[in-house]
Structure 1
Amino acid sequence: MSDDGGIFGPELYEFLEELEANNNREWFNENRERYEEEVREPAFDLIRAVRPLLAEISQHMTARDTKLGGSLMRVFRDTRFSADKTPYKTNVGIQFRHLRANDVHAPGFYVHLSTESCFFGAGSWMPDRDALAAYRVAIDERPETWIAARDACQSDGWRMEGERLKRSPRDWSVDHPMISDLKRKSFIAVRDFDHGVALRPDFPSVITAWCNEMRPLMAFLCQAVDLDF
């Protein structure tokens, strides 16, 4: 806990900045204790603080403070298919997933902390073919519900991100009134926040307030793929 009562202290960003400059196993092993004390344990504290607040929004979203399969994403990068072979992520990623969907692409909430940027996200990033098809059907069948959810993602500091297909998806007419949304490959709402927000004592409450604002989007996406919200 930081001196001002926040779960994270400024040491979080100091560690990430040093890791960016020394992204190698030797340096990380020498500073592993710092990682535990300044990054992982505070992240677990944040997850534990969010858990009861998130449960008030949805009983189906999880906040797990476990090293394996938990909400805190691994610090180790998967370099198998990347030209960048640096072994460690230089950000903290925390995902609150649906209890029936452990896939990172399933509907969920996401907190991103790095020296470069901090942001919060909600929705489904690059869903698989079946889920993407289900979202498109739901938009077609319930356009008014989708529009209300979408509009909530484009106001008060929110924006929708993600690539779109250049052409209309197969089996959908280019003249469809919702074709712009049917072209989406992700359904993600994002908002940026200042680095200092993560150091505040009320950061767990801030996160869950954002989760609550995104309830229409999350409810729509979960219902589309037969998940309770």
Structure 2
Amino acid sequence: MSTYFSDASFRFLRGLARHNEKAWFEAHRADYEAHVRQPFLRLITDLQPGLARISTHFRSDPRTVGGSLFRIHRDARFSNDKSPYKSWQGARLFHERRREVAAPSFYVHLQPGESFVGAGLWHPETHTQRKVRQFIFDNPGAWKKAAHDPKLRRRFALDDSEVLSRAPRGFPAGFEFVDDLKHRNWAFLRPLDDATMAGPRLRATVEADLVTLAPFVDYLCAALDLEF
């Protein structure tokens, strides 16, 4: 089994976090290419066959423009933080129709001490939130099977970074899954330690996680009238 990332990958990202400036990045660009970007593109390439077995509508795309790998550059136009670079690298395994409609995705995140794998909807627009909530309300049995499966819950946690304080308007407070309706994001995540990220079983670990996450993503696709 091949490895992708190494101590050098984390060393570069830690350095970038400390020296988040163009001059430092350009001086260490070769390290970024050799230890972060190119290994991640190889991982993305290698994940595609396993992803295709889960769904033919999702892509693990290694193209350097328009593919799965997010740019390391930050969009700081609307942020008080003007740091030019992210101190992590992430990849989204996306739905083929992502440019047409809101769609869930799978996600792999590389960051020293904070790497993770996950899937779901992140920061969906208000009308998309409303559509998902209504689908959960109308299909609670399938939601319980997809989002409260013990195998999923043993390994993953539903992101709770943005949650309403009360039931969203139009939904009864006594609904069985009202706490799930309060979420603004529907994404399950689990941390991956540095040893796993740099180890020989990373690809197998992520592939197994994609299988575990698939029924949840399938449910979100159904909520948004997308093929899975």
TM superposition score category, shorter chain reference: over 0.9
For 1:177, the equivalent position in structure 2 comes to: 176
Determine the C-alpha separation between the residues in 1 that align with 2:79 and 2:111: 21
- The answer as to 2:92 corresponding to 1:69 is no
Q: Residues 221 and 228 of structure 1: is their aligned pair in 2 closer, same or farther, counting only changes over 3 Å?
A: same
CA contact (8 A) 1:53 1:205 kept: no
User: Identical aligned pairs, as a percentage?
Assistant: 34
CA contact (8 A) 2:113 2:194 kept: no
> In structure 1, which of residues 153, 156, 162 is the aligned counterpart of residue 154 of structure 2?
156
For 2:185, the equivalent position in structure 1 comes to: 186
More displaced stretch, 143-152 vs 161-170: 161-170
For 1:26, the equivalent position in structure 2 comes to: 23
Determine the C-alpha separation between the residues in 1 that align with 2:86 and 2:99: 20
CA contact (8 A) 2:159 2:185 kept: yes
Q: What is the SS of the residue equivalent to 2:123?
A: coil
Letter in 1 for 2:194: H
CA contact (8 A) 1:119 1:190 kept: yes
- The answer as to 2:220 corresponding to 1:221 is yes
Determine the C-alpha separation between the residues in 2 that align with 1:103 and 1:74: 21
- The answer as to 2:63 corresponding to 1:57 is no
Letter in 1 for 2:70: M
CA contact (8 A) 1:50 1:205 kept: no
| Structure 1 residue 13, shift from structure 2 partner | 0.4
> In structure 1, which of residues 47, 56, 59 is the aligned counterpart of residue 44 of structure 2?
47
Output one character per residue of 1:138-186: Cα deviation in whole Å (capped at 9) or x when no partner.
Answer: 1111101101212137622211113221232222233333322221111
Determine the C-alpha separation between the residues in 2 that align with 1:17 and 1:126: 27
For 1:111, the equivalent position in structure 2 comes to: 108
| Structure 1 residue 60, shift from structure 2 partner | 0.8
Q: Residues 10 and 146 of structure 1: is their aligned pair in 2 closer, same or farther, counting only changes over 3 Å?
A: same
> In structure 1, which of residues 139, 146, 152 is the aligned counterpart of residue 136 of structure 2?
139
CA contact (8 A) 1:105 1:125 kept: no
CA contact (8 A) 1:93 1:111 kept: yes
Q: What is the SS of the residue equivalent to 1:56?
A: helix
Letter in 2 for 1:65: P
More displaced stretch, 154-163 vs 59-68: 154-163
Q: Which runs of 5+ in 1 are unaligned?
A: none
Determine the C-alpha separation between the residues in 2 that align with 1:138 and 1:76: 36
For 1:80, the equivalent position in structure 2 comes to: 77
| Structure 1 residue 11, shift from structure 2 partner | 1.0
Q: What is the SS of the residue equivalent to 2:155?
A: coil
| Structure 1 residue 223, shift from structure 2 partner | 0.6
Q: What is the SS of the residue equivalent to 2:116?
A: strand
| Structure 1 residue 39, shift from structure 2 partner | 1.0
Q: Which runs of 5+ in 2 are unaligned?
A: none
For 2:207, the equivalent position in structure 1 comes to: 208
Determine the C-alpha separation between the residues in 1 that align with 2:146 and 2:66: 30
Determine the C-alpha separation between the residues in 2 that align with 1:116 and 1:200: 14
Q: What is the SS of the residue equivalent to 1:214?
A: helix
